[in-house]
A = this chain, B = another copy of it.
Amino acid sequence: MSRLVVSSFSVSIDGYGAGPRQSLADPLGVGGTALMEWVFPTRTFQRMHGAAAEGSEGETGIDDDYAARGFAHVGAWILGRHMFAPSRGPWPDDGWQGWWGPSPPYHVPVFVLTHHARAPLEMEGGTVFHFVSDGIHDALARARAAAQGRDVRIGGGPATVRQYLAAGLVDEMHLVQSRALLGSGEPLLAGIDLPALGYVCTERVATPRATHVVLSRRRAAAA
């Protein structure tokens, strides 16, 4: 079964999924890097970002297990525009190809939500960025087709996660309660009535770095 999932999505103590004023210098918003401190030491992160080649194997354990689980069985991704680029509005002719360099860590088709059409962008390692300007439902349909039975993972940011949550389309969401305190930024869950949408907390495991929480949506019985 192809599920729509959110994985390894960090939130601050005060409920923000990203800091304020995203820019080239602050891809996760001001202070937002603190949200991800739990993942940096993991083997999954270290290998993905080449540090393993430099002799760092990274840590295994619960944090790593969750990080790794977020990449298993994923056949396509959906990203909001800001997860792909710091620019706003019509695409500037600036050669931007995403935050991740020539070989992004996706290795599958990635569907980027945008109000401004743009030709697909084929990267090294199997990642192809497709730009979808017909809304979240169209992006999901295209991602599901591309995933060929595997899961579709929403990478973020908070606004994108919120849209899919509010539409009742997310099957499972793995949140990571970090020890970051941001003060301002993009709230993740505020104003979304998750129990009313059918979500329950199905997992909670804490580590010295973070608390992992899984929210799952009860599906109506199949007809």
| CB of A112 within 8 Å of the partner chain | no
Interchain CB contact under 8 A, A207 and B206 = yes
**Majority SS at the chain A contact face:** loop
Count of identical protomers in the assembly:
2
Chain A, interface residues (CB within 8 Å), range: 20 to 34
Q: Which of B181, B189, B196, B215 contacts A15 (CB 8 A)?
A: B189
CA distance A14 to B213 in the complex (A): 11
| CB of A179 within 8 Å of the partner chain | yes
Interchain CB contact under 8 A, B179 and A201 = yes
Interchain CB contact under 8 A, B183 and A194 = yes
Q: Taking A187-B190, A206-B206 as contacts, is the C-beta distance between A13 and B181 under 8 angstroms?
A: no
Interchain CB contact under 8 A, B193 and A190 = no
CB proximity of A191 to chain B, nearest CB, Å: 9
Interchain CB contact under 8 A, B179 and A204 = yes
